[in-house]
Amino acid sequence: MSEASLTTAIVEERVKPAKRRRAYNVRRLPGFAPIALFTFFALYAPLSILVFYSFNAGTSLAIWEGFSLRWYQQAANNAQVLDAAVRSLLLAAVSASVASVAATMAALATTRTRRFKGRTMIYALINQPLMVPEIVTAVALLIVFAWIKVATGYTGMIYLIAAHTAFCIPFCYLPIRARLETMDDTLEVAARDLYAPPLKVLTRVTLPLLWPGIIAGYMLAFVISLDDVVITEFVKSAGQETIPTYMLGQLRRVVTPEVNAISTVILVAGAVLVTLFFWISRGRR
């Protein structure tokens, strides 16, 4: 080996480790990544266990006795569960529909405009259900509805629908407003310039553009209504169980994997709706 090549080798040897050393990553904080990964694990582990035991063949929640759909069958044949499921879905569908219409109107009125008198007040009122703890709204409704129930003798579903619609409105309003704010009004102005009457501008231009926002709002409201326990528990009349209140009642008795089976169905349905929601609201970017 010549002297020159030896020198290069030495130099290379010296340079190498420096080259190999990774750049100092300013975004890294020691210990954060493991904690974060643990957190993700911890978020999903309990739910996975819940789902896992819903397929247990045995009666016990603790001992695995083989795979079976037994508890799903039992839930599907349980008249109380079916009754509650139908009620939950109907309640969510009606409340979310009414809330979407009201929220769309309010969003059209409060966006893409200069500040007008009372706009902040409308915002505050619409978001009010988000500010007050649910238990407080629940007992306040209990008080008012108890009074109306005594006065009129009517104990139908209207109370639940009214209560659910009210707390669904802010959840509808937010995505619809977000969508409206990213829409500019050039197409609507163009339509108006071409002498389209206001109603036609709304149905042919504004609403088609706004549609993803409305669907997103509807789905959010649907999920929120489906999940609600507290307000439903206080407002419902006798025999008006929804799936969550039915499950809450079951927890006081001996718990069988049937509750897991129902939970799994709710979990999957919720996850699908939320995924769709994400997918739709991503489309606006």
Partner 1 sequence: MTDSALASEPAPGALEAHAARQDSRNRWLLSLPALLIIFLFASGPLFVMVIYSFLSPGDYGNVKWDFSTDGWVNVLLQRDIFDDTLMWADAHLSIFWRSLSLSLITTVLTLIFGVPTAWFIATQRPGKREFWLFLVTVPFWTNLLVRTIAIQELIRAEGVINNVLLALHIIDEPLQMMFTDFAIGFGMTYVYLPLMVLPVYAAVEKLDFRLVEAAYDLYASRWTAFRRVILPLIKPGIIAGSILVFIPCLGAYVTPRVLGGGKNLMFGNLIELQFGAGRNWPLGAALSLTLMAIVMVALIYYVRITSREEKKDV
Range 126-165, binding partner 1 (CB under 8 A)? 126, 128-129, 131-137, 139-144, 146, 162-163, 165
Half-sphere exposure of 193 (CA within 13 A, CB side): 6
Distance in Å, CB of 242 to partner 1, minimum: 11
User: Cα angle at 206 between 114 and 130, to 5 degrees?
Assistant: 60
Whole-number Å distance between alpha carbons of 280 and 100: 16
Whole-number Å distance between alpha carbons of 192 and 189: 5
Shorter beta-carbon distance to partner 1: residue 56 or 205: 56
Distance in Å, CB of 71 to partner 1, minimum: 14
Among 32, 67, 154, 211, contact with partner 1 (rule: CB under 8 A): 32
Q: Segment 170-189, which members bind partner 1 (CB under 8 A)?
A: 173
The whole-angstrom distance between residue 158's C-alpha and the CA centroid of its chain comes to: 23
User: Which 3 state secondary structure label does DSSP give 72?
Assistant: helix
Regarding 26 and contact with partner 1 (CB under 8 A), the answer is: yes
Regarding 276 and contact with partner 1 (CB under 8 A), the answer is: no
Shorter beta-carbon distance to partner 1: residue 12 or 278: 278
Distance in Å, CB of 38 to partner 1, minimum: 8
Regarding 9 and contact with partner 1 (CB under 8 A), the answer is: no
Burial 88-119 (b: 16+ CB within 10 A, else e): bbebbebbbbbbbebbbebbbebeeeeeeeee
Distance in Å, CB of 72 to partner 1, minimum: 15
Shorter beta-carbon distance to partner 1: residue 57 or 143: 143
Q: Which stretch binds partner 1 (CB under 8 A): 8-16, 119-127, 185-193, 205-213?
A: 119-127
Q: Segment 195-234, which members bind partner 1 (CB under 8 A)?
A: 223, 226-227, 229-230, 234
Q: Segment 237-256, which members bind partner 1 (CB under 8 A)?
A: 244, 247-248, 251
Regarding 57 and contact with partner 1 (CB under 8 A), the answer is: no
Regarding 59 and contact with partner 1 (CB under 8 A), the answer is: no
- Sequence-separated (6 or more) residues with CB below 8 Å from residue 165: 94, 95, 98, 99, 102
Distance in Å, CB of 230 to partner 1, minimum: 5
The whole-angstrom distance between residue 165's C-alpha and the CA centroid of its chain comes to: 15
Distance in Å, CB of 23 to partner 1, minimum: 11
Distance in Å, CB of 251 to partner 1, minimum: 6
CB atoms within 10 A of CB 270: 14
CB atoms within 10 A of CB 148: 13
How would you class 179 by CB atoms within 10 Å of its CB: exposed for 0-12, middle for 13-18, buried for 19 or more?
Answer: buried
Shorter beta-carbon distance to partner 1: residue 11 or 207: 207
